[in-house]
Amino acid sequence: MLTKLAGGRLFDPANGRYGEAADLWLHDDRIAADPGPGATPDAVHDVTGKVVMAGAIDIHSHIAGGKVNLARLLMGEEHERHRFAGHACGNDRVGSDRIGGGSGIATPSTHSTGARYIEMGFTAAFEPAMLGSNARHAHLEMSDIPYIDTGGYLVLGNDDFLLDLIASNAGQAAVNDYVAWMLTATQSLAVKVVNPGGINAFKFNARSLDLDEAGPYYGVTPRTVLTVLARAVYELGLPHPLHVHGCNLGVPGNVATTLDTIQAASGLPMHMTHIQFHSYDTAGDRKFSSGAAALAEAVNRTPTLSVDIGQVMFGQTVTASADTMAQRHTAPLAHPRKWLAMDIECDAGCGVVPFRYRDNSYVNALQWAIGLELFLLLDDPWRVFLTTDHPNGAPFTFYPELIRLLMDRDYRLAKLAEIHPDAPAHTTLGSIAREYTLAEIAIMTRAAPARILGLTDRGHLAPGASADVTVYSDLADRRAMFERPDLVFKSGRLVVRDGTLVATAQGCTHVVRPGFDELIERRIARHFDERIGLPIKHFRIQDAEIRHGAGPQLHPCQRREVP
């Protein structure tokens, strides 16, 4: 199948194209070079004057796994209010020819998740908190999400095995082998650390744990966990740096901890996630103010650092996190008033707290402003990513509105005038003139996410790349533009036309597989026998289990040494 997209304006920052008019060719599931005169495309779409980008990539969105599924059950009222009938379109795989049916906004069901993403022109989204003990579940769920590519970031840093390795001075090489073994066994793409050591400490009844505080039982500090893992990820040569959900999430004054955390990395690459929730200062009568300026300054001058924001948008959502310690502090604010918490398998935990962000709440209004402030004060769009930490700051379906806030200063100021009247005084948002350009949006949502995850054939439009393409009308109302693309192609197939699903498609699951010294397996096997109560072979996820036998897509790792 040869498809020609004729006359569009290509925004393809990875290949240095910023809006020039050019034809784009898709051959089967890949972008192709112009086949030259005489080629007879099977389909031609005239996209003259329209904006053409690669499919968007969401690097941090809680879309699958135990906590998401529990959140769906807790959010029953929302699911009853938002039910979707399936579309009959195509029949690729027996049983999945009705697509997009389900329910929910903040915690959409699998088919609805895939449908909402592809309708906005997103062709990949990554589950950023996959517990090893829950990995098989997460993969089962991800393979039931149509249209988009997925992958999971393995949560480490609160597992008793790793803390024991560190406490017993097993050495960095043993840690590296363990990390590599776990990534392989759980079919993961990256490593995430959540409140390093804190979730484990909470199991011993510690209710807080600072960066340099020794945790109970192991006596290991969060700083040590963080640096050991950052080094393991670096030395194993994973494409994605350690994905860090830091200490003290949501606590006023936590910007100091966040700045310390940047120092702790001491030059090792690190991705700090949902930094909006980690950017709070304590100025003013309410002892809650923006620390965005200081944090943005630190990120701007640290080239080894990348961040995503975790923007808050107003309305009902639910917070779902492995950070049981933080979630226990949030629980009294639950709206509706119900929440759940789990300790999980000597591995980590999960806490789910429904939440309604209100623009007339001083704190929520400031959270909203802090997120935007960060977006606008961070200079390098290659190191900042568009996220709402779905669903924790807002459902991912708010991205078009968020893009408009970033691209349209007048609109932003009008919104700033609507929030709690005391909030603007405690942020610099009102004084920031910057408007994101289409090129910057293309970097932040396509080229940069692919690069930071090591997905070499995604996020750009050069020949050989996956034919994941989105075509937008260049509307002045950027929200309307990004809400409803004209055309979306997934792996070369036209799946969305004028915002409506017209065919089915399935994405793939991305993984890394750094090698390890097999000696570590003996120690891990003993841990499984003696502690976890499960022979190790039942823990390991085989390739045949991924996407109904299709198997994962592997990305290479390049081992390196810390200079």
Partner 1 sequence: MTFHRDTLCPFCGLGCGDIGIDLDPSGIAARPSGCPQADRLFQRSMAVPTDARLGGAAIPMDDAIAEAVRLLESSRAPLIAGLAADVEGVLTALSLAERIGATVDHERSEGLFRNLAVLRRFGWSVTTLAELRNRCDLVLVVGPDPAQGFPRLWERWVVPEPAFVAGNGRSVVFLGGEPLPETVRWLGARIETSGLDTDTQTDLATLVGRLRTALAGRLAADDPMAALAARLRSARYAVVVWAAGLFDGPQPDLIVEGLVRLIRTVDGITRCAGLPLSGADNLVGANQACSWRTGFPLRTGFDGGGPLHDPDRFDWHRRLRDADVTLWISAFRPETPALATGGSVIMLAPPETIVAPEPALFIPVGTPGIDHPGDVFRADNVVALHAGALIDRGLPSVAEVIGRILAALSQNAKTREAAGC
Q: ω before 391 within 30° of 0 (cis)?
A: yes
Q: Are strands 270-272 and 280-281 parallel, antiparallel or unpaired?
A: unpaired
Determine the Cα–Cα distance for residues 63 and 141; give it in Å rounded to an integer: 9
CB closer to partner 1 out of 203 and 278 = 203
Binding mask 19-58 toward partner 1 (x if CB under 8 A, else -) reads ----------------------------------------
Determine the Cα–Cα distance for residues 300 and 198; give it in Å rounded to an integer: 28
Binding mask 151-170 toward partner 1 (x if CB under 8 A, else -) reads ---------x----------
Among 3, 133, 224, 553, binds partner 1 (CB under 8 A): 133
Place of tokens 């993984």: 511
Tell me 124's DSSP state. E
Of residues 142, 128, 154, 141, the one with CA closest to residue 59: 128
Which two tokens mark 250?
Answer: 């949501």
**Is residue 104 near partner 1 by the rule CB under 8 A?**
yes
**Is residue 2 near partner 1 by the rule CB under 8 A?**
no
Determine the Cα–Cα distance for residues 309 and 389; give it in Å rounded to an integer: 8
**Is residue 110 near partner 1 by the rule CB under 8 A?**
yes
Of residues 471, 401, 473, 408, the one with CA closest to residue 435: 408
**Is residue 103 near partner 1 by the rule CB under 8 A?**
yes
Q: Which listed range, 131-139, 374-382, 426-434, 491-499, lies at the site for partner 1 (CB under 8 A)?
A: 131-139
Residue 152 beta carbon to partner 1: minimum distance, rounded to whole angstroms: 13
Let me know the angle formed at the C-alpha of 507 by 506 and 509, rounded to the nearest 5 degrees: 135
Residue 203 beta carbon to partner 1: minimum distance, rounded to whole angstroms: 6
CB closer to partner 1 out of 186 and 388 = 186
- CB-count exposure of residue 173 (10 Å: 0-12, 13-18, 19+): middle
Residue 556 beta carbon to partner 1: minimum distance, rounded to whole angstroms: 27
Among 45, 55, 59, 109, binds partner 1 (CB under 8 A): 109
Q: How many CA atoms lie within 13 A of 236 on its CB side?
A: 35
CA distances from 339 to 204, 315, 345, 555 (A): 21, 18, 20, 38
Among 16, 85, 431, 476, binds partner 1 (CB under 8 A): 85
Residue 334 beta carbon to partner 1: minimum distance, rounded to whole angstroms: 8
What number of chain residues touch partner 1 (CB under 8 A)? 67
**Is residue 70 near partner 1 by the rule CB under 8 A?**
yes
**Interface residues for partner 1 in 196-255 (CB under 8 A)?**
202-205, 217
**How many of the other CB atoms lie within 10 Å of CB of 33?**
10
Q: What single letter denotes the amino acid at residue 295?
A: L
**Interface residues for partner 1 in 518-547 (CB under 8 A)?**
530-535, 537-538, 541-542, 545
Return all residues near 15 (Cβ < 8 A) that are at least 6 apart: 460, 461, 462
CB closer to partner 1 out of 16 and 533 = 533
Determine the Cα–Cα distance for residues 280 and 293; give it in Å rounded to an integer: 10
Among 23, 29, 97, 210, binds partner 1 (CB under 8 A): 97
Determine the Cα–Cα distance for residues 445 and 531; give it in Å rounded to an integer: 42
Residue 226 beta carbon to partner 1: minimum distance, rounded to whole angstroms: 23
Residue 412 beta carbon to partner 1: minimum distance, rounded to whole angstroms: 33
**C-alpha 498: how far from chain center:** 26
Residue 521 beta carbon to partner 1: minimum distance, rounded to whole angstroms: 15
Residue 529 beta carbon to partner 1: minimum distance, rounded to whole angstroms: 9
Q: How many CA atoms lie within 13 A of 115 on its CB side?
A: 24
Residue 101 beta carbon to partner 1: minimum distance, rounded to whole angstroms: 6
Among 342, 432, 439, 502, binds partner 1 (CB under 8 A): 342
Q: Which residues lie near partner 1 (CB under 8 A)?
A: 64, 66, 68-70, 72-74, 76, 79-80, 83-86, 91, 94-98, 101-104, 107-112, 131, 133-134, 136-137, 140-141, 144, 160, 202-205, 217, 338-347, 530-535, 537-538, 541-542, 545, 548
